[in-house]
Amino acid sequence: MSKKKPAAALAAALLTIAPLSAHADAAKDLQIAGRALTFLENGPTGKQVLGIVFDPSKPASVAEKNAAMAAIGGGMSAGALTLTAKPVEASAVSGVSGVAALYVTTGVNVGAAAKAKKIITIGSDASCAASGACVMSVSADPKVEIIVNRSAAAAVGAVFKSAFRMMIREV
Amino acid sequence: MKKTLLAGVSAGLLVAAAASAANAQSIDYGSLEQLFNEPVTTSATGAPQRSTEAPVDMTIISAADIQRSGATDLPTILSRVAGLDVEDRGAGASDVSVRGYNQAMSPRLLVLINGRQVYLDHYGYTAWATLPVQLSEIRQIEVVKGPNSALFGFNAVGGVVNIITVNPKFDNTGDITVRAGTAGYGEVSLAKSFKVGERFSARVSAGASQSDEFKNTVGVAKALLNDPAKLSANIDTVTQLTDKVELRVEGSYSNVQVSDMLSNYAYSPSKYLTSSLKGTLAAETKVGELQLTAYQNDLTAKHVILGQKSRFENKITVVSAQDLFKIGAKHTLRVGAEYRHNEVNTAPIGGAEVSYDVLAASAMWNWAITDKLAFTAAGRYDSLDLSREGTFPAGSPPLGNGYWDRKIEEPSYNLGLVWRATDVDTFKATAARGVQVPTLIDLGALQARVTVGPYTIGLAGNPTLEPAIITNYQLTYERALPAIKAEVSAKVFVQKTEDVKGQPTSAQIDVPATLVSLPVLSYRNIGESKMNGFELAASGQLTGGFRWNADLTHTEVDDEPNTGFSAVIRTAAYGETTPENRGNVSFGWTDGAWTADAYAHVVGQHKAYALYSAAAAPNLVNVEAYTAIGGRVARAFDHGVTVALSGQNLGDNRQRQSAGLEVERRLFLSVSKTW
């Protein structure tokens, strides 16, 4: 009995981790996103606004936006940055202003509009950067992963420092 | 050279006054570590990498690990790394090796501070007490296990220890520590960084310590022992010359006395005076990260060798250049070149100088084959030109200085395949060839006469000695267990050392007497040695602020001397002197202001060489298995003040850990303030 209980507890813990991860890690992902921005050439410093892009017709996107807004709250310190957030509907990206970057919720594609505005886009889903819809994708768990799409970065004029480029995955 | 570098600093200051906001060229370890949630390093390939993705076997000791260790010296901290063998020769002198082959004046571990060699390659060892660094200013210690000559050159064969200090450009640090302990221990250290304007930053540090030597319970002649004492200082400046160009200048000084165990296992009351000056110019350009480095190490080392006072004046000058760049999304490359000049006088009989010049070219290619699979190949080619100038003592074999005109040319390589099979599983396969070049002492700087019975015999270096070649193959499996905040690893490795160096011995004449010369004892290549083994390690965190670590390293060493040589007699019986097993268990706890850590370092039975009086021959004695226990309890107070009680070798009043002096239980009370 004593041998089975820890194993069962461990299995239960493992099963509960995956469903929780999507929103529980919003704060960690945003930390990575904010810190990654500081490795841009002539990157942002100090207080900056992050636009949280969502699609109001997609409940998952709205939930992720809400989680991100809650995680940043009144201000999140991420390296040399202090981030605040404002929600941006996907359809309004072409008119957005005053943001250092856009954090794109899963399943939303604003690549073309962001490129036209020369704004860096960051997704929490690896496919966002892989497809070119985002300049960068970040995820914190189980291990920090950062993917930069070179074409998308070039399109918005984003140049990352070389040391950073050697430590991430580029596509 | 000093004037040139100082002029460079002045120029940098002038530029700084007129320039605008700065960009980074050197590696901001802190920011990258926070970004990736793991330590980063450049000691694997020369390129910045996450520690878990480095294509070498690397352990990184963090500043927090160092603080919690309660240790007062680097060897104690290193002894808690899986697979490292540490033998304390005295209260201020130790020898460190990786996976066996430890010996007096251990030559197989290359040690650097911020990439500057502090390994003393005129004699081939690290006098740890001479390192001009305070523990409080170390950002991390990077320990590479296995050869890494393709990056660092000669002598990075058993492993590499690269000590990375805080960088005043990125890190704001201030620490003063006062420590007192049993056995007359006293220490004070200070480290402080500061900025002047937006483009100039500096770190200054200094420290002094002293203690009583371990009690002489093994019969070493009293005149051969010193109470250890150390004084050291360091300055480190970073000047942003332009937005893309940075100049870092580091200078150091140390004045040390310790009881050394020399390479013949005899004690020596040694004194060291070291100084260094290093300049690094780094530029971010369209063709990559260019870096030009130049440094000079000056050393005065005084020993008593075979009862004779010996003074070595050693100067090392190194100039290197490299370009690091990325091609496309998948390929990172580094190309480099290095020039090195190393010179030392002969001793204890003077009158000559032995020196060499080394030219080296190196390259590294890292290929991200897929998101999960990366391949790294690094190679280096070193060409060494040996020479000798000066006179020969009477009775020397009839050889001219031209006998020293010799070239040693050797390639080295590191190959690594890293496969991140899943988010939590990583496999690594590595192969490496390292080159342990004969030291200047081996090659002829040692020049002495000894009396054996009624005979007078010459003792001299051997300029024909071949470098030892170390090849190493390793498989590594690492698994993260995030659900329980733990990680485990398993490694297997095989290693071969060719052309093992044997020490001079009065039991074997190497150069027969002639009508005009004495018989001579010297260094010889005596054969091969093979090692294989495995390492198991696990570490993690528990709820309630607890942390734990456990590791075991097993090695089997088989010496295969050539016909006519005995590894035992030539003081190279590594199969007998390497313990088969060593391991660590530690447990720590932090709760608010309180921190407590306990460490147990276990070493299996092995033999060790002992030589307690001059002109005898070292003999093998038995060292029983032992457990060294250390620990620290600390409480943090307001205003950055911490009070800590720590101890080493707590299990016994006195403990035999080598054939040298028995180590003693020592307790320390520290008060430190950070700001």
| Amino acid in position A63 | A
Output DSSP code: residue B445: I
Tell me which chain B residues have a C-beta less than 8 angstroms from the C-beta of A142.
423-424, 480, 482
Tell me which chain B residues have a C-beta less than 8 angstroms from the C-beta of A141.
482
Phi, psi (5° rounding) for residue A97?
Answer: -150, 165
Chain A contact for B329 (CB, 8 A cutoff):
yes
pLDDT at B15 over 70: no
Beta strand A81-89 pairing with A46-54: parallel
Cα torsion B656, B657, B662, B667: sign: negative
User: What is the arithmetic mean of pLDDT over B226-245?
Assistant: 96
The Cα-based distances of A5 to B201, B484, B540, B541, B553 in angstroms read 56, 15, 20, 20, 32
For all residues of chain B together, what is the average pLDDT? Answer: 93
Share of chain B above pLDDT 90, in %: 89
Pairwise CB contact (< 8 Å): A142 & B40 = no
**Is the separation of the CB atoms in B594 and B634 below 8 Å?**
yes
Pairwise CB contact (< 8 Å): A143 & B52 = yes
CA B215, CA B227: separation in Å to the nearest integer?
A: 10
pLDDT at A40 over 60: yes
CA B519, CA B380: separation in Å to the nearest integer?
A: 39
Q: Find where tokens 């850590």 sit.
A: B597
Pairwise CB contact (< 8 Å): B35 & A166 = no
pLDDT at B3 over 90: no
Phi, psi (5° rounding) for residue B150?
Answer: -65, -25
pLDDT at B455 over 80: yes
Non-local CB neighbours of B150 within 8 Å, separated by 6+ positions: B362, B364, B378, B379, B380, B412, B413, B414, B432
User: What is the arithmetic mean of pLDDT over B19-31?
Assistant: 61
What pLDDT is stored for residue A45 in this prediction?
Answer: 87
Beta strand B347-348 pairing with B446-452: parallel
| Amino acid in position B280 | T
pLDDT at B17 over 60: no
The angle that helices A26-37 and A59-72 make with each other, rounded to 10 degrees, is 70
Of B36, B368, B424, the CB nearest to A169: B368
Chain A contact for B487 (CB, 8 A cutoff):
no
User: What is the arithmetic mean of pLDDT over B226-243?
Assistant: 96
User: What is the arithmetic mean of pLDDT over B480-495?
Assistant: 96
DSSP annotation string for B508-555: B-SB---SSS--EE--EEEEEEEEEEEEEEEEEEETTTEEEEEEEEEE
Chain B contact for A18 (CB, 8 A cutoff):
no
pLDDT at A5 over 80: no
- Domains contained in chain B, number: 1
pLDDT at A24 over 50: no
CA distance B370 to chain A (A): 9
Tell me which chain B residues have a C-beta less than 8 angstroms from the C-beta of A10.
483-484
What pLDDT is stored for residue B408 in this prediction?
Answer: 97
Pairwise CB contact (< 8 Å): B37 & A36 = no
**Is the separation of the CB atoms in B626 and B594 below 8 Å?**
no
CA A123, CA A146: separation in Å to the nearest integer?
A: 10
Tell me which chain B residues have a C-beta less than 8 angstroms from the C-beta of A38.
31
Write out pLDDT tens, residues B74-115. Answer: 999 999 999 999 999 999 999 999 999 999 999 999 999 999
What pLDDT is stored for residue A11 in this prediction?
Answer: 44
Chain A contact for B210 (CB, 8 A cutoff):
no
Chain B contact for A1 (CB, 8 A cutoff):
no
What pLDDT is stored for residue B616 in this prediction?
Answer: 66
Q: Which two tokens stand for residue B601?
A: 């370092």
Residues 36-65 of B with CB under 8 A from A: 36-38, 40, 47-50, 52
Of B23, B48, B482, the CB nearest to A167: B48
Cα torsion B434, B438, B441, B445: sign: negative
pLDDT at B539 over 60: yes
Q: How confident is the model at residue B668 (pLDDT cuts 50, 70, 90)?
A: very high
What pLDDT is stored for residue B236 in this prediction?
Answer: 97
| CB-neighbour burial class of residue B115 (10 A; exposed 0-12, middle 13-18, buried 19+) | buried
pLDDT at A166 over 60: yes
CA quadruple B524, B525, B526, B527: dihedral, nearest 10: 180
CA B64, CA B383: separation in Å to the nearest integer?
A: 41
Higher pLDDT: A141 or B300? It is B300
CA B48, CA B364: separation in Å to the nearest integer?
A: 13
What pLDDT is stored for residue A22 in this prediction?
Answer: 43
CA quadruple B385, B386, B389, B391: dihedral, nearest 10: -160
User: What ipTM describes this predicted complex?
Assistant: 0.85
Tell me which chain B residues have a C-beta less than 8 angstroms from the C-beta of A14.
483
- Lowest model confidence (mean pLDDT) among B286-290, B571-575, B596-600, B614-618: B614-618
Pairwise CB contact (< 8 Å): A141 & B36 = no
Q: Which domains does chain A show, CATH number per domain?
A: 24-170 (3.40.50.2300)
Q: How confident is the model at residue B32 (pLDDT cuts 50, 70, 90)?
A: very high
| Amino acid in position B360 | A
User: What is the arithmetic mean of pLDDT over B492-497?
Assistant: 98
Chain A contact for B484 (CB, 8 A cutoff):
yes
CA B386, CA B321: separation in Å to the nearest integer?
A: 23
Non-local CB neighbours of B616 within 8 Å, separated by 6+ positions: none
CA-based nearest residue in chain A for residue B288: A162
CA B1, CA B217: separation in Å to the nearest integer?
A: 48
CA distance B36 to chain A (A): 6
What pLDDT is stored for residue A124 in this prediction?
Answer: 86
Write out pLDDT tens, residues A113-152. Answer: 999 999 999 998 889 999 999 999 999 988 899 999 999 9
User: What is the arithmetic mean of pLDDT over B447-460?
Assistant: 89
User: What is the arithmetic mean of pLDDT over B570-588?
Assistant: 97
Tell me which chain B residues have a C-beta less than 8 angstroms from the C-beta of A32.
35
Note if the bond before B618 is cis, omega within 30 degrees.
no
Of B35, B38, B48, the CB nearest to A166: B48
Output DSSP code: residue B442: I
User: What is the arithmetic mean of pLDDT over B353-362?
Assistant: 98
pLDDT at B401 over 60: yes
Longest dimension (CA), chain B: 79
| Segments forming the whole domain that contains residue B168 | 2-674
Q: Where are the alpha helices (DSSP H) in A73-166?
A: 111-117, 126-130, 150-156, 162-165
pLDDT at B9 over 80: no
Chain B contact for A84 (CB, 8 A cutoff):
no
Chain B contact for A161 (CB, 8 A cutoff):
yes
Q: Which two tokens stand for residue B237?
A: 């400046």
Pairwise CB contact (< 8 Å): B288 & A38 = no
CA quadruple B604, B607, B612, B617: dihedral, nearest 10: -170
Non-local CB neighbours of A90 within 8 Å, separated by 6+ positions: A53, A54, A55, A108, A109, A110
The Cα-based distances of B653 to B115, B214, B226, B648 in angstroms read 38, 11, 21, 10
Kindly tell me the number of DSSP H helices and DSSP E strands found in chain A: 7, 8
pLDDT at B377 over 60: yes
Write out pLDDT tens, residues B603-619. Answer: 999 999 988 765 567 88
CA distance B363 to chain A (A): 16
Write out pLDDT tens, residues B311-351. Answer: 999 999 999 999 999 999 999 999 999 999 999 999 999 99
* Residues recorded for chain A: 171
pLDDT at A12 over 50: no
Output the pTM of the full model. Answer: 0.92
Tell me which chain A residues have a C-beta less than 8 angstroms from the C-beta of B423.
142-143
CA distance B482 to chain A (A): 7
CA B358, CA B343: separation in Å to the nearest integer?
A: 12
Write out pLDDT tens, residues B107-138. Answer: 999 999 999 999 998 999 999 999 999 999 99
Q: How confident is the model at residue B18 (pLDDT cuts 50, 70, 90)?
A: very low
Q: Which two tokens stand for residue B633?
A: 């309890």
Q: How far is CA B638 from the centre of its chain?
A: 37
The Cα-based distances of B140 to A144, A171, B596, B642 in angstroms read 21, 32, 21, 21
> Quick count: other Cβ atoms within 10 Å of Cβ B237?
21
What pLDDT is stored for residue A42 in this prediction?
Answer: 85
Which SS3 state, helix, strand or coil, does residue A49 take?
strand
What pLDDT is stored for residue B615 in this prediction?
Answer: 56
For all residues of chain A together, what is the average pLDDT? Answer: 85
CA B243, CA B238: separation in Å to the nearest integer?
A: 13
Q: How confident is the model at residue B25 (pLDDT cuts 50, 70, 90)?
A: low
The residues that bridge with B181 in the sheet, in sequence order, are: B185, B668
CATH number at residue B292: 2.40.170.20
Write out pLDDT tens, residues B162-198. Answer: 999 999 999 999 999 999 999 999 999 999 999 999 9
Output DSSP code: residue A40: B
CA B243, CA B247: separation in Å to the nearest integer?
A: 12
pLDDT at A7 over 80: no
